[in-house]
Structure 1
Amino acid sequence: MTAQTTAVVSPAAPSVLPAVRRGGLAAVLGLTGTLLVLLVMASLPYVVDNGVTTQLVKLCYLIALASMWNLLAGYAGMVSMGQQAFIGLGAYTLFVVNDHGINVYAGTLVVSAVVALIAWPVSYIAFRLRGGYFAVGTWVIAEVVRLIVVRFDSLGAASGRNITTITAEPVLRQAYTYWLALAVMAAALLGTYLALRSRLGLDLQAIRDDETAAGSLGVNVTRGKRIIYIAAAGGCAAAGAVICVNSLGVASPSQIFGVQYTALMIFMVVIGGIGTVEGPVIGALVYFLLDKYFAQSGVWYLVVIGAAAIAVSLYLPRGLWGTLAHRTGFAIFPVTHKVLQTTRRDEA
């Protein structure tokens, strides 16, 4: 005799939907505080001498570069070793647009858009690789780009090139350069924050955690990664243009296309906290201070940089800001979602 089990179906319980809040008061305060800081920084050329703003130009483009690499690796899971390709392209494309009569300051926006367009077909090559092969492949792409650029005599070939069309007085030129760097930094930070608060941000974090699972849930993995790859290329190109304007040109193609830029990005993101909007800012500030006070110390400079990286990796693997955020839940740029309560579907 076979026992049979009868499933008793109870009346369907009303479905519930979670009420979700993103950021709330913390987001408002974070954005308000950030805007106030940016306004104060924008007024600095009127109240401090050129020496201060000259140093801050470097801090601004370091933050922009670190934010772009964090967007790639920290949120999309793409560990690139070749972002210097787009930094160098940004600097050299600025020469091209300037030769066509576009001011170098306004030309930075054009440069960012042009290099982003170049990154689109490049992504089809890079995305054929995965993991460590992707990292090595992006570095190879950067070297190929450098070899192509140095073949053009109009761009200075292997000797580099200077910007000769800036006619503004030195004081005014430095102020314009500082405001340009500040604008690029602000765009990188706020653009990253807004992207992460969108549907794309959710897709990116799912892709970072598990591409296969994200794809099975309907996330267009390739599309999301390509958008971020192109956006990061445009951001790095804008930073490259700032470097070029600040130095009044490119002294050496090997320097502007050097892998040291990507190494700096990785250092700043690891120190500050990968996968957080605030981490690259903290990491860039730490590197900026170390470079300012120890750069003239010869070999001890490298010792201090290495010791800082080792200490953070061993004792604070989440990074400085990442550890603080994990322990306290505090965030200046909150991108997480909080479930407040449940709501009946028929009431929603």
Structure 2
Amino acid sequence: MSPNATLASNGISIERWTKSSRVALGCMAAVLVLLMFAPAVLGAGAIDRMTALFIYVILAAMWNALAGFGGLVSVGQQVFFGLGAYFTIRLADAGLNPFVSLFAAAIVTGALSIPLSLFMLRLKGGEFAIGMWVIAELAHLLVNLDRLIQGETGTSLISLNVYDGATRRATIYWLALTAMAALLGALFMLMRSRAGAAMQAIRDNEEAATSVGVRVIATKRLLFVLAAFGIAVAGGLWLATATTFQPKTYFSVQWTAYMIFMVLVGGIGKFEGAILGAILFFVIETVFGSAGVWYLIGLGATAVIFSLYLPRGLWGEIERRFDFQLLPVGYRLKLPGPHKIKWEE
């Protein structure tokens, strides 16, 4: 008798989808469809803010994938954000359509992350985190040497000027929405695959994962490149909304700080947590962003409070208290009676 048949005969079942998760997926699909029509009904300011929200979700999801699912904590992910914007400028200057340049630049950045991973993934823990910050600073210095960029003076994505304001705003909005949906979908499917299970095994215990045949470096590289590509997409989209490129802005560690904040508040290692954290960060920025330095102090204090008293983040706490999952990437072992034991693959 197979193990699954034995479990079933004892009233025990293994499930991956719940009723709430199926409803959540359907609701998300419906929301995405409705959001496609937003430029027809919302004003310019609202469209710009919604575009920013989509970019924040991408950033949070990519950092959560790297650190929350892969155990690779980095404080230098701004390198990919900056390179995504930089290569967009470079490709557009070479004559490529600026909107095409956004994604071509992300592909170039993702390709560059492959050789970078050859030595960065040999580092562990704090060495990897600081090493990524060093790489970001080095990339910043190298971009400053490009005469097109004019040092810290920067330049603009001039080729966008051929489009009128309304067309440009709507196009960037749709590109950001599509990129967010595609990256979240790709990440969700990846984490529910064998590779996703391997990534979480590496995060939990790299030596144990190696002992059962997991290809550690290759698996880490897959996640590293995906995160690089996604963050580069976000950098290109942010450039399109701002149109101006200054290296010190795009290569600032502030971007990684925002990613960390969103993931810590929402729930690290939880697919839903990154999305929730991005929405909370967006709301806080919208309401209190004009407070200047006090806004940044408030973000730091909030992150510390969550680290001390809600280390699981908001979604992690909801899941713990109510046994509630919307987008599970693992399995649930369901026991007969009122009690359930769940575990992530």
User: What's the TM-score, normalizing by structure 1?
Assistant: 0.90
2:199 paired residue number: 204
Question: How far apart are 1:20 and its partner, in Å?
Answer: 4.2
| Structure 1 residue identity aligned to 2:214 | V
Question: How far apart are 1:309 and its partner, in Å?
Answer: 1.8
In angstroms, what is the RMSD of aligned CA positions? 1.7
SS at match of 1:331: coil
| Structure 1 residue identity aligned to 2:308 | L
Distance (whole Å) between structure 2 residues aligned to residue 86 and residue 303 of structure 1: 26
Question: How far apart are 1:26 and its partner, in Å?
Answer: 4.0
| Structure 2 residue identity aligned to 1:85 | V
Gap runs ≥5 in structure 2: 8-12, 336-345
Distance (whole Å) between structure 2 residues aligned to residue 309 and residue 220 of structure 1: 34
2:72 paired residue number: 78
1:274 paired residue number: 268
| Structure 2 residue identity aligned to 1:300 | W
**Contact 1:69–1:265 (CA under 8 A) maintained in structure 2:** yes
Distance (whole Å) between structure 2 residues aligned to residue 334 and residue 42 of structure 1: 26
CA displacement, residues 313-348 of structure 1 (integer Å, 9 cap, x when unaligned): 22211001111012222222111213469xxxxxxx
Question: How far apart are 1:291 and its partner, in Å?
Answer: 1.3
Choose 124-133 or 148-157, whichever is displaced more. Answer: 148-157
Question: How far apart are 1:24 and its partner, in Å?
Answer: 4.9
Choose 211-220 or 153-162, whichever is displaced more. Answer: 153-162
2:127 paired residue number: 133
* Aligned pair partner of 1:162 in 152, 156, 159: 156
**Closer, same or farther: CA 282–340 of 1 in aligned 2, 3 Å:** closer
Counterpart check, 1:289 vs 2:283: yes
1:346 paired residue number: none
Bigger Rg over Cα = 1
Distance (whole Å) between structure 2 residues aligned to residue 241 and residue 315 of structure 1: 36
Write the mapping of 1:1-348 to structure 2, written as runs, cut at 5 A: 14-17=1-4, 20-166=14-160, 167-250=162-245, 252-339=246-333
| Structure 1 residue identity aligned to 2:244 | G
SS at match of 2:209: helix
Distance (whole Å) between structure 1 residues aligned to residue 296 and residue 139 of structure 2: 29
CA displacement, residues 235-288 of structure 1 (integer Å, 9 cap, x when unaligned): 0000000011001121x2011001010011001100000001111111111111
Distance (whole Å) between structure 2 residues aligned to residue 191 and residue 249 of structure 1: 30
Gap runs ≥5 in structure 1: 1-13, 342-348
Question: How far apart are 1:308 and its partner, in Å?
Answer: 2.0
Question: How far apart are 1:57 and its partner, in Å?
Answer: 1.3
Q: Percent identity?
A: 39
Question: How far apart are 1:202 and its partner, in Å?
Answer: 0.5
**Contact 1:57–1:178 (CA under 8 A) maintained in structure 2:** yes
Distance (whole Å) between structure 1 residues aligned to residue 142 and residue 17 of structure 2: 46
Distance (whole Å) between structure 2 residues aligned to residue 16 and residue 273 of structure 1: 33
Question: How far apart are 1:216 and its partner, in Å?
Answer: 0.3
| Structure 2 residue identity aligned to 1:21 | E
Distance (whole Å) between structure 2 residues aligned to residue 101 and residue 329 of structure 1: 53
Question: How far apart are 1:227 and its partner, in Å?
Answer: 0.4
SS at match of 1:165: helix
Question: How far apart are 1:22 and its partner, in Å?
Answer: 2.0
| Structure 1 residue identity aligned to 2:234 | A
Distance (whole Å) between structure 2 residues aligned to residue 60 and residue 316 of structure 1: 25
SS at match of 1:129: coil
Distance (whole Å) between structure 2 residues aligned to residue 109 and residue 302 of structure 1: 31
**Contact 1:277–1:333 (CA under 8 A) maintained in structure 2:** yes
**Contact 1:267–1:309 (CA under 8 A) maintained in structure 2:** yes
Distance (whole Å) between structure 1 residues aligned to residue 268 and residue 106 of structure 2: 24
| Structure 1 residue identity aligned to 2:109 | V
User: What's the TM-score, normalizing by structure 2?
Assistant: 0.90
Question: How far apart are 1:187 and its partner, in Å?
Answer: 2.1
**Contact 1:45–1:53 (CA under 8 A) maintained in structure 2:** yes
**Contact 1:23–1:335 (CA under 8 A) maintained in structure 2:** no
